[in-house]
A = this chain, B = another copy of it.
Amino acid sequence: MQRLSITPRSSEISGGHVSNTVPPVWFQDARLDICQAVSELNGENALFGVVRSAKYDYERELYFGSAVEIRTAIRKIGNSSVVFFQEAWQNQHRAVTAETVILLIDTVTGGPSTLSDPSRIFLKNLE
């Protein structure tokens, strides 16, 4: 599990709390390092990062003025896709969860590519 600290911007606030459209941006930033590592572990024409689907659950409101911790874990490793499970916490409360399906793409064919063994081992350690 990885942790990233996010400071909400005033531009991300609407009606006194963080808009529901903002945590997807934070969750994406929290996946970036992992996506880059997996891309590299799959060789030259591999791109890991395309979002196939995303499901967000909003349990509490998030506010300006206090850091948000994004926790990122791998939930399931498929043939050419990976399910991420992420949480946004603020002041000891979980506020939003995200389940995201990320695809490994062959940038030459544009189609899906099979995850290499080194990338599977790397992802297993993040479960």
What sequence of 0s and 1s flags, for each residue 5-29 of chain A, a beta carbon within 8 Å of any chain B beta carbon?
Answer: 0110111011000011100111011
Closest beta carbon of chain B to A18's beta carbon, Å: 12
Residue on B nearest A27 in the bound complex, by CB: B21
Tell me if A54 is interfacial: C-beta within 8 Å of chain B. yes
**CB proximity to B under 8 Å, residues A46-99:** 50-58
Is the interface on chain A under 10, 10 to 19, 20 to 34, or 35 or more residues? 20 to 34
Q: Which residues of B contact A29 (CB under 8 A)?
A: 9-11
The verdict on A126 contacting chain B, using a C-beta distance below 8 Å, is no
Per-position contact with B for A26-37: 1 when CB-CB < 8 Å, else 0?
Answer: 101100100000
A10-B14, A21-B21 given; name 18 further pairs at CB < 8 Å: A6-B7, A10-B25, A11-B14, A11-B19, A11-B21, A11-B29, A13-B14, A20-B28, A20-B51, A20-B54, A21-B24, A24-B24, A50-B58, A51-B58, A52-B57, A53-B55, A54-B56, A55-B56
